Amino acid sequence: MIKNIVNLGDAAVYCDFGNDVDKETNLKVIKYFKTIKDKRLNGITNLSPSYNKLIITFDLNKTSFDKLIYDLSNIDTESEIENKPQKINIPLCCDDEYSLDISRLEKKLAKSKSEIIKTFLSKTYFCYMTGFIAGMPFLGDLNKSIMLDRLDTPRVKVPKGSVGLTEQFCNIYTFESPGGWNIIGKTPVKIFNSLSLNKPNLINPGDEVIFYEINKKEYLKVYNE
């Protein structure tokens, strides 16, 4: 399952699952991440999964690199109970006020706004990882017909709740932030809640997301509550 485990500084290890960025590889990362988390191995202080890697930091006062490698090598993920993905429905408003890059998308993709939105809404998206800013989900995989590179010049501020596209992924900005993704619309739903200690993220790695379109009136009704 793991291709290699190496040191990353004095108190971290780097678990490499290969170079592929796909659902099959990412599911291995997520399964390993959840198994280690559930086992509460002594000395581990943080787990950071990505598309095809897992970084594990540890406390040198409680464990060592050799002991951690031994513990990790003896984990049997095949015997663990499969975690069923959570399916999450996310409303999306594509009013021109929120669809900041729709003109660029229409030009670059040679498609109308309605075609782009219809194609985008037709898929169920898989959460590969969260990161960059707290709780931001990286969701794949886009239909190939609407894949596009990042903006040539990133925005200094992308509004909170914006849904962006780039390459094979879409994401949701959980806070106002700089960013270079192509913004297709905006959701009124809070994706990250810093006040919730047990479950701050609405969307977590391994979850499945379905977007559905709402109009501006419906957006404001949810947003103002």
Q: What is the pLDDT of residues 80-103, one digit of tens each?
A: 555 677 999 999 999 999 999 999
Determine what percent of the chain is predicted with pLDDT higher than 70. 95
Local confidence band at 77 (pLDDT 50, 70, 90 cut-offs): low
pLDDT given at position 4? 82
Residue 173 scores a pLDDT above 90? yes
pLDDT given at position 141? 92
pLDDT given at position 222? 83
More confident residue, 122 or 223: 122
SS (H, E, C) the chain: CCCEEEECCCCEEEEECCCCCCHHHHHHHHHHHHHHHHHCCCCEEEEEECCCEEEEEECCCCCCHHHHHHHHHCCCHHHCCCCCCCEEEEEEECCCCCCCCHHHHHHHHCCCHHHHHHHHHCCEEEEEEECCCCCCEEEECCCHHHCCCCCCCCEEEECCCEEEEECCEEEECCCCEEECCEEEEECCCCCECCCCCCCCECCCCCCEEEEEEECHHHHHHHHCC
- Lowest model confidence (mean pLDDT) among 72-81, 110-119, 171-180, 193-202: 72-81
pLDDT given at position 83? 61
More confident residue, 193 or 97: 97
Residue 223 scores a pLDDT above 60? yes
The stretch 214-221 carries a mean pLDDT of 94
Local confidence band at 79 (pLDDT 50, 70, 90 cut-offs): low
Q: What is the pTM of this model?
A: 0.82
pLDDT given at position 212? 97
Residue 197 scores a pLDDT above 80? no
Determine what percent of the chain is predicted with pLDDT higher than 90. 57
